[in-house]
Each structure stands twice: as structure tokens, then as C-alpha cells.
Structure 1
Amino acid sequence: MFARLFPRRKPARPPLPQPNAQLALGALLVRVALADRSYNVSEVGQIDRILARTFSLKPLEAAKLRATCEALERDAPGTPEYARIVREEVDYADRRALGAAMWSVALADGARQDDEEIQLLAIETALGLTDEDIAANREAALKGL
């Protein structure tokens, strides 16, 4: 009875860390996966593999990083803010590889979605990739379908 009259407050969430290049990259990967409003196991697994490979993490560490990135993405500033962080801290060749990795996340579910492609184009443009590199990433990714 008292519980209904005096409901417990939800505990405050711990503050999120300030985004750095690692967290910004993970949040952008999550944002691509969420672009079609469907976030499935194959996309989560692909994000974990990318984070593990990129940052030399063990699978559990990559999953924890992804979980933090998911929380950041939920409360995130817009794509340009994350892209700026990545642009400032990551060289061009690695940003281009990031574009290719994002395509692998978008296509992890085996389907092309217009929403994901639009989000990818916006992110790759914000990362400062050239039109030629954006087209090359897209073409290479679509060959694998």
C-alpha cells in the first residue's frame, strides 16, 4: 500500500563519460545500426567485432564499450559533434576505413535500408570523406550482398 503512495524514485544514472574518438566512433556505429529503427543481434555483433578489432579489445571489453556507446548515442549530440571529434583525432585513412566498417554494420542484417544509407552518407560527409571514397565504400560493401 505504501509503495503505491510513495513510489521509489529510480536511482540516478551515472554520468556518461565525455566522448573521445573511441566513444564517438562506437556511438556513430550504433547510430547507423539504429537508422532503420531496428537494432538486431547481427548488427550488435558486427559493432562488437569492429570495436574489438579497431581497439584491440577482448570480446567482453568490446561489448562493454558498445553498451557505453549505446547510452551515449541515446543522449547524444548530433552526428556533426561526434564526427568532429573523430575528424580531430583520427587520420583520413582510418576515417575512410571507418566508413567501410559502418557499411558492414548497415548491411549486417542482410538488407539494404534507405534510412541507413541516408544516415551513412551524412556521417561519411561529416567525417570529411571525399565523394570518391564514399562511393568506393558503398560499392565495395554492396558487392558483398
Structure 2
Amino acid sequence: MFADLLRRLVAPEPEQLPDPDARLALTALLVRIARSDGDYAETEVDRIDRILARRYGLSPFEAAYLRGQAETLEEEAPDTVRFTRAIKDAVPYDDRSAVVEALWAVVLADGVRDDEEDALIRLVANLLGINDRDSALARQRVEAGIPTAR
């Protein structure tokens, strides 16, 4: 299952992913950002589950299951640059923009902004086609607790 998704993501011209695959790929990015500082904290896991439940209308069990699949995919996925560029080509802009906000929510979940997390979110946002200004605005919305439309 993951091999097929990864193969489609890194194809020379990836096609738009069906919703379940896009969910999985985008969730793997959330997991990658949470793991980037070497401390995959329970608060980050909880935040990912809540993001998934709200964003996709999942039960807590379904959100945890999707996160578990994404943890496996994240381990098998290529380097962040190739993985994120592939997602950019296969996922609509609105979904990518909302993911940057979700990434900030995960980074800020444990109350600590590590240099590794900041560097990775800046790289990922850029590779997803989200500029620094929009990423900063997303971070500010998360810090202020302002809910998004998604």
C-alpha cells in the first residue's frame, strides 16, 4: 500500500492524489515535523489526532489509526525535499495551505519552538508553495487560537 503511494508521489509527473492518499501523505508531513526535534511528544501526537479529527471529521479511533499509518509512511518516505515537492504536485493549493497551519499547530503543541522544527517548517512551507508571509500568518493564527475555515 505505502509502496504504491510513494511510487505515485515520486513519479516524474504525479497525478492528483485521491482523497485517502492525500490525507495519508499530508498526515505523514505532520508526523515528520513532530519528529524533527527528536522528541515525538505525547502533546504532539494528541494535537495531530485532534487536527485529523477536526479536518476530516474522524472519530478519535479513526484519527489515531490514520496517524499510525502516517507514522509508517513517514519512516518509508524519501527525504523531505522530494516527499514535499511530490505532495505539492499532487495536492491542491488550498489543502497545502491548510497543512502549513496544521504544521504550526503541531510545532507549537509542546510549547517549545526548536530550531530544527523552525527550519523544517520553513523548508516544507516553501516546497509546498506557501510563502514566508503566509506561513507566518498561519503561525500567528495558531498562536492566537483563531480557528480556520478548514
2:115 aligned with 1:114: yes
**Greater Cα radius of gyration, structure 1 or 2:** 1
Matches within 5 A, 1:1-145: 16=2, 18-19=5-6, 20-143=21-144
Work out the CA distance in 1 between the residues paired with 2:79 and 2:38: 17
Backbone CA RMSD of aligned residues: 1.9
Which SS does the other structure have where 2:38 is aligned? coil
Is the 1:24–1:83 Cα contact (8 Å) retained in structure 2?
Answer: no
> Which deviates more from structure 2 when the two are superposed, residues 34-43 or residues 81-90?
81-90
Is the 1:21–1:85 Cα contact (8 Å) retained in structure 2?
Answer: no
Deviation at 1:87, TM superposition (A): 2.0
Is the 2:27–2:67 Cα contact (8 Å) retained in structure 1?
Answer: yes
Runs (4 or more) in structure 1 with deviation over 6 Å come to none
CA deviations 1:97-129 (Å, max 9, x no partner) are 211110010110111111111111111011111
Cα 1:82/1:22, change in 2 over 3 Å: farther
CA deviations 1:34-76 (Å, max 9, x no partner) are 1110011110011111112222211111101101111111121
Is the 2:125–2:132 Cα contact (8 Å) retained in structure 1?
Answer: no
Cα 1:94/1:60, change in 2 over 3 Å: same
Deviation at 1:95, TM superposition (A): 1.6
Cα 1:59/1:38, change in 2 over 3 Å: same
TM-score by length of 2: 0.77
Stretches of structure 1 lacking an aligned partner (at least 5 in a row): 1-14
Cα 1:96/1:82, change in 2 over 3 Å: same
Work out the CA distance in 2 between the residues paired with 1:57 and 1:88: 26
Work out the CA distance in 2 between the residues paired with 1:69 and 1:108: 18
TM-score by length of 1: 0.79
